[in-house]
Structures are given as C-alpha cells and as structure tokens.
C-alpha cells in the first residue's frame, strides 16, 4: 500500500507503507524531513498534515487528545490531522496528505529505509 505526501516545497513523494504503521513513521522512515518531535506520542503537534478531502471519511476520527494537541499547530482546518495518529490500513491504501510547513524539519533524520 502507498501514501502520497505533498511537501511544503511542492515536491510529491509516493511512499510504500506497511499496515499498522503510523503515517508519521512512514514519512520519517523514508527519510523525509518531518519534525515529529515527540516521536508519535500525540504530545507535540509537529506532524501536522492536511488530509486529502476524499480521504477524510475513511479516517478514524481524531480523539479529544489529538484535537487538543492540534491547538499547537498553525493553519488548522477540517482537513488537519496529526499523522502520528493515522494508522495505515487497507482502507487507507492511496492516502494523500500534505505536510504543514511548521512540521518540516530543518534537516532530514537519519535514513532508516531505502527504496523508490
């Protein structure tokens, strides 16, 4: 299954994803510069993405905790999610997200995976 990520600089990446992985982990482990400071604990709001309109209904709705953490993000709208809280599943194969500028890391993390 795949996730398509639009980066703030306009680049688009189609990333292979594994079922059960957090979208944040997929983006990070392919070596793209995502801040994700708290490492997926829903505690920092630095993995903010805008989800493609057509995918919103397929997502598990955000918890109260995620909505609270989104208060620490910018340009939040109804498509806003913290992508550490989106778990990949068959229904989400093809998911499209756009990374919010404030969640872009200064430098890419160490590359953990290789591939196209």
Partner 1 sequence: MQASEASTDVIIVGAGPVGLFAVFELGLAKLKAHVVDILDKPGGQCAELYPEKPIYDIPGLPFCTGQELTDRLLEQIRPFEPVFHFGEMVEALTRTVDGKWRLTTDTGRVLIAPVVVIAAGGGSFVPKRPPIPGIEAYEGKSVFYAVRRIDAFRGRRIVIAGGGDSALDWTVNLAPMAGQLTLVHRRPEFRAAPDTVRKMRELEEQGLVRFELGQPAELKGSDGKLDAVVIKRTDGSTFDIESDTLLPFFGLTMKLGPIANFGLNLNENLIPVDTAKFETSTQAVFAIGDINSYSGKLKLILSGFHEAALMAQAAHRYVHPDKTLRFQYTTSSSELQRLLKVA
- Size (the chain), residues: 116
Interface residue with partner 1 among 16, 91, 93, 108 (CB under 8 A) is 108
Check: CB of residue 88 under 8 Å from CB of residue 21: yes
Q: How far apart are CA 93 and CA 75, in angstroms?
A: 26
Any contact of residue 9 with partner 1 (CB under 8 A)?
no
Q: Which stretch binds partner 1 (CB under 8 A): 11-19, 22-30, 50-58, 100-108?
A: 100-108
User: What does the DSSP assignment read for 45-64?
Assistant: --SEEEEPGGGGGGSPPPPH
Q: Rule CB under 8 A: which of 27-86 touch partner 1?
A: 35, 37-38, 41, 43-46, 67-68, 71-78
Q: How far apart are CA 27 and CA 11, in angstroms?
A: 13
Q: How far is the CB of 94 from partner 1 (least distance, A)?
A: 27
Residues that bind partner 1 (CB under 8 A): 35, 37-38, 41, 43-46, 67-68, 71-78, 101-102, 106-110
């Amino acid at each position: 299954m795949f996730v398509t990520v639009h980066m703030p600089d306009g680049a688009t990446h189609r990333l292979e994803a594994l079922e059960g992985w957090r979208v944040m982990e997929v983006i990070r482990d392919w070596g793209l510069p995502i801040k994700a400071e708290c490492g997926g604990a829903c505690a920092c709001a630095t993995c903010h993405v805008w989800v493609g309109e057509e995918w919103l209904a397929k997502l598990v709705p955000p918890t109260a905790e995620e909505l609270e953490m989104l208060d620490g993000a910018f340009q939040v709208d109804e498509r806003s999610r913290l992508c550490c809280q989106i778990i990949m599943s068959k229904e989400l194969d093809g998911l499209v997200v756009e990374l919010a500028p404030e969640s872009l890391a200064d430098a890419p993390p160490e590359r953990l995976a290789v591939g196209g």
